[in-house]
Chain A
């Protein structure tokens, strides 16, 4: 009987021993740390231990350590009170990685490294009120730094230890605690994880992601993360614009609808975003599993959130070069505006369009945004055409051509008849041809007569325009 109990106890002890293998409770800090997965070093060049739980009111909690933080370095600071303390500290600091930081009064910290264990650092100190350098042995690492001078006052020695795993951690913390050293942890953030999370949130199309992503775009310093956030927001906006389409699926509670009853432009964008598949032959639009099917339930909430106004405000700010130096983010914000088409964006867009220091591609994208906004942008575009540089003229003319309408058409025709700049003439011809109504065509015909027999680019272009017009009308 008692034998059985013993066996059970033994079993429990073995289990406990095995189970506790990859965690360690640190009595000094009152927290538990966990061994890292063996590949973190290979894949992410990261070593250390992870804080897995923190006991309330202990030193760890008071220091504001947070569960999940990854401790990569344990750093001990040895205050130096006398020569003996100096020698001890040097020995301790060098014995792990042959490497230490020496702090001398009024000097930058000096890193001293020996080639192998046991090599001399090459310093002797003396106590004269304070601890001062007495001799520097030539040919030693200390002498090679070229900075240390006899008489320098030693303040402290700092011992940075890279933590490979639980054993390193245990050893370092225990030693530093014993020597009364000040203890500092250096933590590592796996930025790759956040980038992946940001990208995934953009893909999932969930309303809860919007504020979090805005926050990252605004408040993070890490550029790669901000870029990822901008791309994700861009995608969320594009997804939200498909809401009318997804509402049709939702209202009928179906995952497949007849394709020709749906808006073809929306279908095309949804297909590009990987949400559904259009079978032209069978005339069906089928939501793709799993994402398209899941998204139809989320679409409405996302649409509302995106159109709340916060995103427009953000995008209007971040298309400005003075505000956002990273062009990729400016581009993403321009695309957000082009999707949301807010009238309030006309002024900021025109500013970008007229900004001669901006990249032409981005200025062009601003023009595209204005043409998406449509009629309300006409006056601003005409002003840009009349007042700004030739690039702005090109972009404005082309945007006006996209918008169309009588007012625009008459303006463009008049501009074509009065300008003498050949490049602008080409853009105007193109814009007028895009409108393509009767008065436009007769205006172009007049130009053709004007340049007849000429060998200029404008004449060749006009011929091309007319030949493509006749073939398309046939």
Chain B
């Protein structure tokens, strides 16, 4: 009896396997073949195949991903329906559909692979897809991957992660700013640097106190308490991007005569155009020139 059941299961398994193989979307296979080939206009032709593959099998993750990756408005005449479908937003949608069908696999691909592509349009489509993941998909999983990337040993991963985090953070600073602030404690300099950069790009005034503290740490007595110069410099630039309530902090830095970041703070203020910067700058001009002063100790 038992043996009989096992046989049935085995043969069913084989049947499924065969059907599955035969069913493997031939358009998808053809499209992938084209990409690998050195044929003329291979990408344009491959895209046509990927579209057919999706028609045949609307849930095919790989076909969606590849369509999002390779489609381009350059293939079509402007304002045709197909041209509209090749927009960055639409390409992002396709990448997102790939994620919807195979979330773990494609989340990792999007974060660690797609963002790295040389083509800015591909990067933007990936950003679009990841934003959709943030809005509609597994947010926690996405944040985990982004944190993994910003903590990566590879600078490109860190940079890509900062870019996505700052873009998502612009629309949802309440979630993103605390995550980035926590990252300022990370022991890898490149991670902290990118977190600071993202905080600046998000422009949330909530980040001002942490950035200010980080800048001030430069004159801490213990070397271990000092943040490295590059990160502190970046923090000043970030305050410059935040503007508004960051102006008094920047003014404070310009007035700290023992700070190496005065010039950076002045430059940031200069681009903000805030009237509050004028008086401190005028004061800076009144500082004494280099000189020798004889002191009488009176003893």
Contact = CB atoms under 8 A, between A and B. Distances in A.
Given A177-B297, A290-B243, A216 B273 contact: no
Given A188-B290, A198-B285, A183 B229 contact: no
B295 A184 contact: yes
B41 to A, nearest CB: 33
B273 A295 contact: yes
B220 interface: yes
Interface string B261-299: 111001101111111011101101101111111111111
A50 B266 contact: no
Nearest to B221: A21
Contacts of B271: 203, 291
Contacts of B92: none
7 contacts: A28-B297, A62-B296, A70-B258, A75-B292, A183-B295, A186-B290, A196-B267
Contacts of A358: none
Interface in A168-202: 177, 180, 182-190, 192-194, 196-201
Interface residues of B, number: 48
Given A37-B260, A208-B282, A193 B266 contact: yes
B219 interface: yes
A294 B273 contact: yes
Given A35-B219, A200-B267, A187 B297 contact: no
Nearest to B228: A39
B292 A185 contact: yes
B259 interface: yes
A205 B263 CA distance: 19
A219 to B, nearest CB: 11
Interface of B: 218-223, 226, 229, 232, 243, 254, 256-263, 266-267, 269-275, 277-279, 281-282, 284-285, 287-299
Interface stretch (A40-48, A304-312, A453-461): A40-48
Given A29-B297, A177-B297, A187-B293, A196 B262 contact: yes
A283 interface: no
Contacts of B262: 190, 193, 196
Q: What 3 pairs between A and B have smallest CB-CB spacing?
A: A200-B270, A291-B273, A21-B221
B281 A200 contact: yes
A39 B267 contact: no
A185 B293 contact: yes
B295 A43 contact: no
Interface in A33-59: 34-40, 42-44, 49-50, 52, 59
Given A59-B297, A184-B295, A187-B293, 6 more contacts: A22-B220, A39-B218, A39-B232, A44-B260, A197-B254, A204-B270
A268 B293 CA distance: 52
A39 B293 contact: no
B273 A68 contact: no
Contacts of B269: 200
A277 interface: no
B278 A196 contact: no
Contacts of B287: 68-69, 189, 193-194
Contacts of B278: 201, 204, 206, 208-209
Interface in A198-251: 198-201, 203-206, 208-209, 212, 216, 222
A190 B284 CA distance: 10
A287 to B, nearest CB: 11
A396 interface: no
A298 B275 contact: yes
A63 B275 contact: no
A294 B244 CA distance: 13
Interface string A1-35: 00000000000000000000110000011000011
B258 A40 contact: yes
A64 interface: yes
A60 interface: yes
A184 B291 CA distance: 10
Nearest to B230: A39
B260 A209 contact: no
A39 B229 contact: yes
Given A59-B296, A63-B293, A298-B275, A68 B257 contact: yes
B255 to A, nearest CB: 8
B116 to A, nearest CB: 32
Contacts of A204: 270, 273, 275, 277-278, 281
A359 interface: no
A183 B259 CA distance: 26
Contacts of B293: 63-65, 184-185, 187
A326 B273 CA distance: 30
Contacts of A298: 275
B83 to A, nearest CB: 21
Contacts of A59: 295-298
Nearest to A275: B273
Nearest to A195: B263
A66 interface: yes
A44 B264 CA distance: 12
A49 B257 CA distance: 10
Contact of A208 (B226, B258, B279): B279
Contacts of B299: 177, 180
A187 B288 contact: yes
A187 B282 contact: no
Contacts of A197: 254, 266, 281-282, 284-285
A31 to B, nearest CB: 10
B239 to A, nearest CB: 14
A175 B226 CA distance: 30
A294 B296 contact: no
A180 B296 CA distance: 10
B17 to A, nearest CB: 60
Interface string A421-455: 00000000000000000000000000000000000
A185 B219 contact: no
Contacts of B243: 290
A189 B291 CA distance: 8
Contacts of A40: 258-260
